[in-house]
Amino acid sequence: MRIGSVLLSLLLIGGCGQVRTVPAAGERPVAPHPRFGTPGRFDADLLRFRLAGSQRGAPGPRLPAIPPPRHVDCRQHKCVALTFDDGPAEYTGHVLDLLAAHHARATFFLLGQMVTDETRDFVRRMASEGHEIGNHSWDHASLPGLSPDGLRRELDRTQEAVRKVTGVRMRVMRPPYGATNQTVDNETRQAGLAQIMWAVDTLDWLNRNPAVITQRSAAAKPGDIVLMHDIHATTVQALPRLLDELDRKGFTYVTVSELLGATTPGKKYTNR
């Protein structure tokens, strides 16, 4: 009997833990969050999957386990949707740590070209911790300046990049620069993607000042969508104070889809 099969049989005799996602060899371990799985339990199903995958030459780790949808009644709660554009990048892990510490879910609008072997673990972690992932085009092109075919490629390549890493089919997108027109409306409608704008622009790309970013973000009202970027160190520096302030005001942190409910592909949204 092959060594892998013997190991699997012995471990299965000892009992089977619940299915959860654990880091593959070489991946940075992620600190467990109390809402997302039980740490310290052996996952025999995951071992079986990886042994089978290595035997048939399947590359990469298992797709992340995604929490079931939750319902938050934003008519009863003070909801705010924090959104982060242009990643994943070097600061994304720190942003995820801070959100987890505040039991906060957010929406990340990703650039397809940024989803690489170096950043895929951030994307998998977004999915496993209940954050929403949105399409922000492949390379931040101004979509109204593209042909329909070019625009479709920007969206489709990013859809595929995220699907390969997470298994998620994105339902929302944010046009770079907020630039849109009838052609963008038509193509996003065909792609099944709602266009998500914002009610609060922190201008964190322009004013690299944590205090200013915090002040602008904290001005959010119930039902607002807040625009930030997880590629700027100053935004990450502002995030602890921002979350503390919104906590103090009694906000509930939700994803865009949790805030808006069912969305219409092609339609533009700025808040609830």
Quick check: is 94 catalytic? no
Rounded CA gap, 88 and 230, in Å? 7
Rounded CA gap, 90 and 33, in Å? 21
Collapse the DSSP code of 190 into the 3-class scheme (helix H, G, I; strand E, B; otherwise coil) and give the result.
Answer: helix
Residue 135 phi/psi, 5° resolution?
-90, 125
Which tokens is 1 given? 């009997």
Rounded CA gap, 177 and 20, in Å? 38
Pairing of strands 268-269, 200-201: unpaired
Q: Which entry of 85, 86, 204, 230 is annotated as an active-site residue?
A: 85
Distant-in-sequence, close-in-space partners of 154: CB < 8 Å, separation ≥ 6: 112, 137, 138, 139, 141, 143, 146
Residue 18 phi/psi, 5° resolution?
-70, 155
Rounded CA gap, 127 and 167, in Å? 9
Q: Answer whether 16's CB lies under 8 Å from 44's CB.
A: yes
DSSP state of 71: -
Q: Which entry of 33, 131, 136, 229 is annotated as an active-site residue?
A: 229
Pairing of strands 172-173, 107-110: unpaired
Which tokens is 254 given? 């939700």
Whole-number Cα distances in Å, 70 to 39, 82, 102, 163 = 22, 17, 17, 21
Rounded CA gap, 86 and 98, in Å? 18
Quick check: is 224 catalytic? no
Residues identified as active-site: 85, 229
